[in-house]
Structure 1
Amino acid sequence: MWRTVGESLQKEGLGAITVKDVHEIVQRALSLYKADGTGMADYALESLGATVIESRCTETYRTRSRCYSLFGVPLWYASESPRTVIQPEMYPGKCWAFKGSEGFLTIALSLPVRVTHVTLEHIPKSLSPTGRIDSAPQEFAVYGLSGFDEQEEGKFLGRFTYDSDGEPIQTFELPDSVKDVYGALQLRVLSNWGNPKYSCIYRFRVHGQPLSH
């Protein structure tokens, strides 16, 4: 026999929670989903003005399996550029793949920001054709830059671990000691989850308080 949500909650000893409460919880969850999964503005989003300004010494991984041809004659082989990392589209294969397990990327933010959080996103194992995500970053670090000088080394802001068994979207909080405002951020991937040939970054986001605040 079908029961209402309220009846089901009462049966589980949660009678204090009303249908209205459940509705509000669901609406908050939907609002968060609509807010790009984190509920925080992304200052590394290309459509808001952010740009990839450098991928120093990091070679894009190119596979000959994705080939465009005319009358059977190969014309070029497709590969996603580093710009993919700051674009919102997410589906298997739409990532920046680079050779090896270590990579480097510098992003000019849409606004100068006091960075409070960063978010790294990868497809879940359930959407991977192989059932694995061994190309996902494991250890990574972020560095803040005041400007866009290629010679600037950047200030270390934190080191984090992406959990391959966790949620696809993982947000990491920077230490409270990070007070400075930065116009650019470096993402340094230090290792992946075991792929010997390449690593993939699907999306990287930067959250914080803009200078105007």
Structure 2
Amino acid sequence: MALQKKRFLKVVFLLLPVALAGVYCGTSLPAWTMPAKGLREELTRVSAADLKTLRHSSALLAEQTQKMQLLLEEVAQLRAELSSVKEVQKVNQAASEMASEVYVQMSDWALKSSGATIDVQRTSETYSCKENWGCRVLWFFRTANPPDTILQPDVSPGNCWPLQGHQGQVVIRLPAQVHLTAVTVQHIAKEVSPSGTVISAPRDVAVFGVDADGEEETLLGTFTYNVAKELIQTFPLKNAPLPRAFSYVKLLVKSNWGNPAYTCIYRVQVHGKMDIPGSQTVAEAHVIQLGG
């Protein structure tokens, strides 16, 4: 009997911790479950907010990326436009320099107001019609115009210089040493001519560069003034611009368009680039380049 009682107590002692643990777990499990559920809900809420924020940030990043791409495209377009503008500026500058060079070379050096004069000693005589009663009816020959008439821009009908005969010459003293490029001759139209014709206009002409002392002449070119073409005709000189500069130019009229008594010259222009001491001409620079 005592032995059975002893075994029973032993079993009780063995089962008591298990029972106590069960009671503890049964009473504590609901208490642990409540915080865990709240924690999951809180984590879910926080994760959703973070996800929303992340999505918003991603959308902003995409928007900013798109704006940046558009900005880069605008910058590229501006660079292209700027490059185009620079090219246009270069072209305009080159055109301006070319136009300036053409303007300089086409400047009129045979202009009285700029200092050009006539070398009367080497110029043909002026036609006089005192002994020819037929020409007296033409009002512009009552008082013959002097040779320097051809150095003035007034080309109104009758305002010409009549040289004696169908051949003759005029020597123009330029206001500077000039590398010559071209010569321009101007006449009037037949419709406004007091005589009703232009047979007194110069036809075949030769141009010479003349030394100051007049001992040496250099043929610069020959040309024909055609009365059937424009009133103002420009004739380039050979090898222009000439490497040598001249301060005197001679126009030799070899023939006119049929008037045996006189040749009427209205306007003569001499073109070229003024010689600047110490500077190289185009021809000289070319020779140096070939030699170097």
With the length of structure 1 as denominator, give the TM-score of the two structures. 0.72
Give the SS at the match of 2:122. coil
Alignment of 1:94-133 (within 5 A): 94-133=159-198
Higher relative helix content: 2
Unaligned runs of 5+ in 1: 1-38, 69-76
Q: Which residue of 2 aligns with 1:139?
A: 204
Q: Pick the aligned partner of 1:58 from 124, 139, 144.
A: 124
Distance (Å, rounded) in 1 between the aligned partners of 2:187 and 2:129: 19
Distance 1:88 1:206, change over 3 A: same
Unaligned runs of 5+ in 2: 1-104, 131-135, 280-292
Distance (Å, rounded) in 2 between the aligned partners of 1:87 and 1:191: 23
CA shift digits 1:137-168 (9 cap, x unpaired): 00000100232x14x24111011100011111
CA contact (8 A) 1:101 1:191 kept: yes
Q: Which residue of 1 aligns with 2:275?
A: 211
Higher relative strand content: 1
CA shift digits 1:86-130 (9 cap, x unpaired): 111111111110121111111110211100010001111121134
CA shift digits 1:52-102 (9 cap, x unpaired): 01353622112342799xxxxxxxx51100010111111111111012111
Distance (Å, rounded) in 2 between the aligned partners of 1:116 and 1:141: 14
Query: Match of 2:116, as an amino acid?
Result: A
CA contact (8 A) 2:138 2:194 kept: no
Distance (Å, rounded) in 2 between the aligned partners of 1:183 and 1:102: 24
Alignment of 1:1-213 (within 5 A): 40-54=106-120, 56=122, 58-64=124-130, 65=136, 77-147=142-212, 149-150=213-214, 152-176=215-239, 178-212=242-276
CA contact (8 A) 1:61 1:198 kept: yes
Q: Which residue of 1 aligns with 2:34?
A: none
Worse-superposed segment, 170-179 or 135-144:
170-179
Q: Which residue of 1 aligns with 2:37?
A: none
Aligned length: 165
Give the SS at the match of 1:196. coil
Query: Match of 1:125, as an amino acid?
Result: K
Distance 1:55 1:160, change over 3 A: farther
Report the Cα offset of residue 41 of structure 1: 1.1
Distance (Å, rounded) in 1 between the aligned partners of 2:117 and 2:218: 20
CA contact (8 A) 2:166 2:259 kept: yes
Which structure has more relative contact order (CA 8 Å, sep 6+)? It is 1
CA shift digits 1:163-203 (9 cap, x unpaired): 01111110000112632110110111000000111111001
With the length of structure 2 as denominator, give the TM-score of the two structures. 0.53
Q: Which residue of 2 aligns with 1:15?
A: none
- Root mean square deviation of aligned Cα: 2.1
